[in-house]
A and B are shown apart, each in its own frame.
Chain A
């Protein structure tokens, strides 16, 4: 057992309101500079939707992450030799059109326009060449299902689950997916870098770019399946989400977490066994990857783990932090948080509580009583958001863990509704979800009361 500590994040998608405050405060803090106009360390996608850059999840096209060659993991973009041969002509890079052409406006015209018959306006100008431009794409183009079925057909997940989803008014559904760098346990960007500029910090697992060593080869951009490494076209170097490490080091949450209006982000320490990572990332069945990654995490309450952690030089404070980590609780104790695209085999460390709502709606249409606790579990398959869609995001298509997570959330609601209305608790509710009433109430505290000092 080789214990290491990782600062990880959980986002509760059931609470995200899609306000994009995280994106804006992140951008203001980190990428409000020339050369990084198009860079969004944090973005928020409406799903279904194409994401940013568009269609990034289509690894047949972008060749991000790892694939299994026999029982060995190799970057999907190819081994070292193939990558070297493509140093100067890498076809697997998103182009300006896959991101968007950043623009501004000729604001000056509003004050400097000559006297005329009509009011002035500020027309758009390209930030690339300064010329008049037309806005035809942006980093959040499909916000709130903008673009409709024709545009959303480009969502790689929808393509995967095929004809199950109909983009019709009556059947509309959406949810928001905020994304930052996953700070993976098995980062393919690090593996892809020919210069050794990308590294994962030993003490907290944060993945960073050494700006002095970066030579701008952009192999990391290809290697990252989440497309969360960006090329600064001013400096010619790669940049990425830093997990706000200067703030983390000062004991403060990341800017995106601090400013999250929906209060859906959780930050905490997770202890894991570094010896198990390679094997876990290489289990043959993609659907076993979620379980395999869970198997790498160590129980901080286990005295053997604590002792091993101390031996590994992990400060006692960190072990304590791991014990009270809301992230560990949501991932490992309550099992309501799931990894994003485990099939990329990078072992991502930003996990998500899948969105529950709307659920009674689906039931009502089948004529069932949407308030009945017994029905709630059965209903999850008929959720307005297809479980298959969520499973393609979080569990390589395995609907089991998604249904289980949603079932626990539903059980919490049913249990607490009885308490709210002063009715007798029904012990079956918790039992059916594989939890105790006490656990449901602890989870309720974390998700519903969600106090600042318990989220971070």
Chain B
């Protein structure tokens, strides 16, 4: 029913105030993705959430668009070249990326660069739109791309490192990767060895004591002695490291390999996942250093890739044509179907072109390879090709990951304002995937132990624990954030902590140790631990990103659903997380949606607020595809009763403030946050172990082996006033981005002059942010990319840490005069400037390419060694056998005890025929997720409703003709669609292009009698435990930066022809 704005806002505000009072502010949440494409609309709502203490849920990792390999390898969220840099590439591989469809405006660069003699190779299971442009098309079986890349790595290591070393490649990996670093080997009961931890300065008793456990070491080729290079994490956060955090090796010549004739060797046991329980034993050259048996990452890498050298024991392939052992070209052919000779040739061409062109070989990689459960291993095998050939940090070379649209170029300002860090710190930022995994109860349907995917060569850490047990463990160790955090209202805890007279963090740790205070995620189905109020804006959660859509409907919303999966039987249930017999249905009290169109989210929302579109409001936009920041400007005013997001959140804040009087007033909120990347929190847990205190009677230490705790004062009556003004903390405490702090003191003055000052109230005298234009102005003024003074200040600060030899201060002075104000962006898109916020250089005559500051100015990557990592030595990486790049096949759902559920029977099909196929959901033409493919023109140019693409062979097997209605059914749900039969599809795989909404032309399912679902109705969340690791260098949480992916590519489904009579 329709109500007026006042009533709607009052209902929403009352729900917020009631929930905060009764359950706590962390039982409220906000979801709004992709700030880059309308920064102010995102920031105003996120800022509101931060001011009331509600968590914002991350999107980039939740969408599985975040390539976890990026933080793992680079210590960075995602930093990629703009599309114009494709033009600079001499060799371009499009690997799982359908550029004409998903990067439509930029595809012309790819088409045109071929005329410059660029060679284009497309790797895609279907004859995709991109394949039309390919000089070569490789079509491995879906999800086996890692095997292709591992074999290419085998060829490159064999020919360009071992057989005939290329000086440029060797020099690159010595300076810019962890390959020369020393790794200890630990002896196994079977006599073999396991790759262990990096040898550190602490082990070797070298260098300053401060931070010594965070200084991995290498051997110097000149004298073979262990030496401590600069630039490691130990130099980043310690007093001793000031001026030393750089990649300048001075006289040191890193020893890449310990291999020498007649030298000592040891056999390491390495997993192979292409065979059940498989391992290979291969020798590596070793020495005893600092009392330990060590080898180099490079030596381990050659063993992993199966590249033999004389004198090493173990089983090695006899040649490229040996299909029995990883990672030869013949071995990959068995797995992928791609001819071995072609893989060999392309690998060779790739490396030769990189050699000739100085690193201008590029891999555009996309969701086709990034949305799998094991995508991090796939990506690491791709990145290895680029690192080995010296392409990363070079214009025209390196990785070009385009999935999602995450790049907020004016980062510092947006981050400061969207987290309300100018008023209160810290804010609650939640990793989306574990949030939904826990609160939509998808874990209750998971029937396998986390160890089902452990390495056969691993230490066996997971035993029979359920993945949700690991999620809870990662929360209590401070690895991942977790909201609601505690089993009690954090406002009550804040009050009690204050009353105790103790340090609030210590008090809370004591309560936990005494067993009086529990973590909410250890009993997520308890009523007091549910999320209660969720606001979704600029997003279509329920129709688009909700992997395990039917479980969202059932448990979060309490709506009807099409899932038929059974819950885990008692023996497969969690060991540490409480199992409640009756799963809750309908946890949310209020789903509030702001939108300008009808979606599944608005259909299921309790309250829908009509929002203005992009062309009815002022906002800012940027992207990773081009170097500009530009304005959205209203072409018309919001029609009818629509309001901008900015106006809506300000209206909501005012009403919350009014209702808070006498109810909430000023409260003290006990806020728990994870150990965060690019802060000293990332050196909380040395050695990459699992320092769990639960069960061993030890009291946890906040910020060390449990989350950091802070008491935040919140005056709930002042929310609206603070929302509309720039607070004082940015000037006082600085704004910190990626570990660099700048103080916007002149900017605050400039903003006051530009925007006026608050005349009274809680923000009296502060610069006003009471219009969307002023908020945009503030984002630009507070960011280095658009304000050269801040860029220069940040680069100077960085220079102090990295040392004057890096020339970073000089880089800063080159951009210090640049300044972009909002009216500039309204006139035309404005190119941003180089800044400490990003890793690449850009200039009018230079395209943006990531990590060029690292390669050209010796600035370390934000990793443990300060270099790009092949090797990850955390305990959980060893458990999963992923310390090094490795091929892991797509999940075998049957082997993982994925039951058929009460899967709707074959009677649904007239003739009982069905095919079981891999179910893939790539991005479609003519839409940004669900937007705007239900538009009549787009539907007319397509098939007018939901379709599933199916191969000629599979269609024939079930008697399906083109445009027949079919049903795709699996335990998670049902999709009703029409078939598009095409020979461009490989047999055994179907595509349902992303987000064909249930809004348009979706009949009722013959199997269930209810409305057919969306593409995510056949998926269910599976959390990869290694993504939960935290508190350890680059393996530390940051929102939208690092966290478990909401992957969905490994799904399988059964397809049947259904009755051609449909009912709507």
The interface of chain A, by Cβ under 8 A from chain B, is 14-15, 17-21, 23-24, 27-28, 102-105, 107, 110-111, 117-124, 134-136, 138-141, 143-151, 167-169, 172-176, 261-264, 355, 357-361, 364, 370-371, 409, 412-422, 444, 447-450
Contact = CB atoms under 8 A, between A and B. Distances in A.
Interface stretch (B130-138, B691-699, B774-782, B811-819): B130-138
Interface string B982-998: 11111100000000001
Interface residues of B, number: 76
B983 A19 contact: no
Nearest to B961: A150
Question: Which 4 A-B pairs rank lowest in CB-CB distance, beginning with the nearest?
Answer: A417-B117, A135-B944, A17-B100, A448-B115
A383 to B, nearest CB: 11
Contacts of A146: 943, 949, 962, 980-982
Contact of A261 (B105, B133, B986, B1001): B105
Contact of A138 (B132, B357, B604, B944): B944
Contact of B940 (A138, A358, A413): A138
Contacts of B356: 421-422
Given A23-B941, A138-B941, A360-B119, A121 B999 contact: yes
A174 B100 CA distance: 14
Contacts of B945: 124, 135
B514 interface: no
Contacts of B120: 357
Given A151-B962, A421-B90, A121 B982 contact: no
Nearest to B346: A364
A124 to B, nearest CB: 5
Interface of B: 90, 100-101, 104-105, 107-108, 111-120, 127, 129, 131-137, 342, 345, 349, 353, 356-357, 560, 598, 600, 603-604, 925-926, 934, 936-945, 949, 951-952, 955, 961-963, 980-987, 998-1004, 1010-1011, 1062, 1064
A63 B356 CA distance: 57
Contacts of B939: 105
Nearest to B936: A104
Given A124-B1001, A264-B111, A361-B135, 5 more contacts: A21-B104, A134-B1062, A138-B942, A418-B117, A420-B90
Given A19-B100, A110-B598, A174-B132, A145 B115 contact: no
B848 to A, nearest CB: 20
B135 A140 contact: no
Contacts of A355: 132
Among B118, B945, B1004, the one with the most A-chain Cβ atoms within 10 Å of its Cβ is B945
B1064 to A, nearest CB: 4
23 contacts: A17-B101, A17-B108, A111-B598, A118-B560, A120-B603, A121-B999, A123-B1003, A124-B1001, A138-B944, A140-B942, A144-B982, A145-B983, A147-B980, A147-B981, A148-B981, A150-B961, A150-B962, A169-B986, A261-B108, A262-B107, A357-B132, A419-B117, A447-B112
Given A19-B100, A146-B962, A27 B937 contact: yes
B756 to A, nearest CB: 41
B983 A167 contact: yes
B936 A105 contact: yes
B1011 A119 contact: yes
Contacts of A418: 117
B598 A421 contact: no
Contact of A420 (B104, B116, B925, B986): B116
A360 B135 contact: yes
B132 A444 contact: no
A147 B349 contact: no
Contacts of B353: 421
A417 B91 CA distance: 10
A413 B115 contact: yes
A16 to B, nearest CB: 9
Contacts of A138: 940-944
Contacts of B342: 364
A108 B402 CA distance: 37
Given A24-B937, A105-B1000, A262-B107, A147 B982 contact: yes
Given A20-B926, A23-B941, A150-B961, A262 B1001 contact: no
A174 B939 CA distance: 22
Given A123-B1064, A420-B90, A143 B983 contact: no
Contacts of A415: 117
B603 A119 contact: yes
Nearest to A136: B963
B1059 to A, nearest CB: 13
Nearest to A37: B940
B941 A140 contact: yes
Contacts of A17: 100-101, 104, 107-108, 111, 129
A23 B598 CA distance: 26
Q: In the complex, which of the residues B111, B603, B980 has the most CB atoms of chain A within 10 Å of its own CB atom?
A: B111
B944 A103 contact: yes
Given A15-B111, A139-B941, A357 B1000 contact: no
Contacts of A420: 90, 116-118, 357
Nearest to B341: A367
A136 B658 CA distance: 56
Contact of A122 (B105, B111, B961, B999): B999
A413 B117 contact: yes
A172 B104 contact: no
B954 to A, nearest CB: 11
Contact of B114 (A120, A176, A413): A413
A376 to B, nearest CB: 10
Contacts of B560: 117-118
Nearest to A140: B941
B112 A139 contact: no
A450 B464 CA distance: 61
Contact of A110 (B135, B984, B999): B999
A15 B108 contact: yes
Contacts of A141: 943
Contact of A169 (B119, B940, B987): B987
Given A121-B1011, A122-B1000, A169 B983 contact: yes
A17 B108 CA distance: 8
From A143, A370, A409, residue with most partner B Cβ within 10 Å: A143
A96 to B, nearest CB: 15
Contacts of A18: 100, 129, 132, 925
Given A17-B104, A121-B1000, A417 B116 contact: yes
A202 B108 CA distance: 36
A329 to B, nearest CB: 15
A330 to B, nearest CB: 13
A188 to B, nearest CB: 28
A143 B101 CA distance: 13
Contacts of B115: 409, 412-413, 416, 444, 447-448
A118 B90 contact: no
Nearest to A134: B1062
Contacts of B131: 172, 358
A169 B114 CA distance: 25
Nearest to B2: A111
A361 B134 contact: yes
B119 A371 contact: yes
Contacts of A262: 107-108, 111
Contact of B127 (A103, A173, A422, A447): A173
Given A17-B100, A413-B114, A149 B1004 contact: no
Nearest to A357: B133
Contacts of A136: 963
A117 B104 CA distance: 40
A26 to B, nearest CB: 11
Nearest to B925: A19
Contacts of B986: 169
A431 B113 CA distance: 23
A444 B1001 CA distance: 47
Nearest to A17: B100
B129 A450 contact: no
Contacts of A357: 114, 120, 132-135
